[in-house]
């Protein structure tokens, strides 16, 4: 008996399913005909289960998709998320990847119907081999183990501040920044954090000090000192490339907001914010 396609059941990931309808027809064919039409195997990491339109709209809203964004949808199925990103949210471009050629063909046809084919593309591709580095918004409806395999790739390849939206499944210890429910379906948002950990030498008009940051995903703990004396630090938060903390320097609390760019941090000025400061991360 020929097994043409196998996949994982969403409720029971270990269960292998065989789609055998075409196999029965092959049995009746002469041997030569079977040789001329060998069965195609399509290895699917995730079964095709479409995301309802209401959940699609909420995912794109959570990701704040807009005209400056490049959206990549992993496991794009019939293309509805990538198409809606351009058609409904005005994304600059969108790309969907799926390993199933039937789904890619269907998605391209749907893009033509929606008249967005010039800005939406679909590729038959293994999601683990997809270059996601250009995405400002990454969407996905995969499985828990696939999310965990993608997590280090996301943290390494996506720019800080990029948004990741997942239908149904989390990222393990990386807690989401936002969760919404749509018709009983869980939707999760993560903001990709900058790499903030380390000791930073801060130069400010009130005097230089060192700032040490410990980081677990978007959560940070901060401590500071000047000339060997500890300076109280509170309210340290990291959102994408933006670091915020309050430094109590001699009884005068000041709020610092900096944008991390590699091993440099530049002040973001504004009402009530400490201005004219910068920091450089020490070599590790």
pLDDT at 46: 64
pLDDT at 35: 37
pLDDT per position as a tens digit, 187-231: 999 999 999 999 999 999 889 999 999 999 999 999 999 999 999
Phi then psi for 60, rounded to 5 degrees? -70, -35
Q: Tell me, which fold does domain 198-283 have in CATH?
A: Lipocalin (2.40.128)
Per residue, what are the HEC states of 21-47? HHHHHHHCCCHHHHHHCCCCCEECCCC
Task: Report the mean per-residue pLDDT for the chain.
Answer: 85
Distance (Å, whole) CA 160 – CA 262: 10
Distance (Å, whole) CA 72 – CA 69: 10
Mean pLDDT, residues 53-61: 98
Q: Taking each helix axis from N to C terminus, what angle separates 53-62 and 80-87, rounded to the nearest 10 degrees?
A: 60
Whether 167 shows a pLDDT value over 90: the answer reads: yes
Whether 168 shows a pLDDT value over 60: the answer reads: yes
Mean pLDDT, residues 150-172: 98
Distance (Å, whole) CA 47 – CA 246: 48
pLDDT at 40: 42
pLDDT at 5: 29
Whether 172 shows a pLDDT value over 80: the answer reads: yes
Whether 180 shows a pLDDT value over 70: the answer reads: yes
Of all helices (H) and strands (E), which one includes residue 83?
Answer: helix 80-87
pLDDT per position as a tens digit, 8-26: 333 333 333 332 233 333 2
Mean pLDDT, residues 168-181: 98
pLDDT at 272: 55
Whether 284 shows a pLDDT value over 60: the answer reads: yes
pLDDT per position as a tens digit, 257-277: 999 999 999 997 665 566 789
Stretch among 2-6, 84-88, 155-159 having the lowest mean pLDDT:
2-6
Q: Could you state, in order of their start, the residue ranges of all structural domains in the chain?
A: 53-192, 198-283
pLDDT at 269: 66
| CATH number of the structural domain 53-192 | 3.40.50.150
pLDDT at 36: 37
């Amino acid at each position: 008996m020929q097994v043409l396609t196998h996949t994982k059941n969403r409720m029971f990931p270990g269960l292998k399913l065989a789609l055998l309808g075409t196999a029965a027809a092959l049995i009746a064919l002469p041997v030569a005909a079977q040789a001329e039409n060998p069965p195609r195997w399509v290895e699917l990491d995730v079964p095709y289960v479409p995301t309802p339109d209401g959940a699609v709209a909420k995912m794109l809203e959570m990701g704040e998709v807009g005209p400056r964004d490049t959206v990549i949808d992993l496991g794009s199925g019939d293309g509805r998320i990538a198409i809606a990103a351009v058609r409904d949210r005005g994304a600059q471009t969108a790309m969907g990847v799926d390993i199933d050629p039937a789904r890619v063909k269907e998605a391209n046809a749907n893009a033509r119907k929606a008249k967005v084919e010039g800005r939406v593309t679909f590729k038959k591709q293994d999601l683990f081999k997809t270059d996601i580095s250009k995405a400002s918004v990454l969407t996905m409806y995969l499985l828990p183990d696939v999310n965990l395999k993608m997590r280090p790739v996301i943290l390494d390849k996506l720019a800080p501040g990029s948004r990741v939206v997942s239908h149904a499944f989390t990222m393990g210890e990386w807690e989401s920044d936002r969760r919404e429910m749509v018709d009983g379906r869980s939707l999760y948002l993560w903001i990709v954090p900058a790499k903030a950990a380390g000791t930073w030498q801060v130069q400010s008009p009130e005097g230089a000090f060192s700032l040490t940051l410990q980081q677990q995903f978007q959560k940070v703990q901060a401590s500071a000192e000047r000339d060997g004396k500890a300076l109280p630090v509170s309210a340290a938060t990291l959102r994408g490339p933006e670091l915020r903390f309050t430094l109590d320097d001699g009884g005068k609390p000041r709020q610092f907001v900096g944008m991390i760019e590699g091993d440099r941090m530049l002040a973001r000025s504004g009402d009530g914010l400490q201005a004219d400061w910068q920091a450089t991360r020490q070599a590790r």
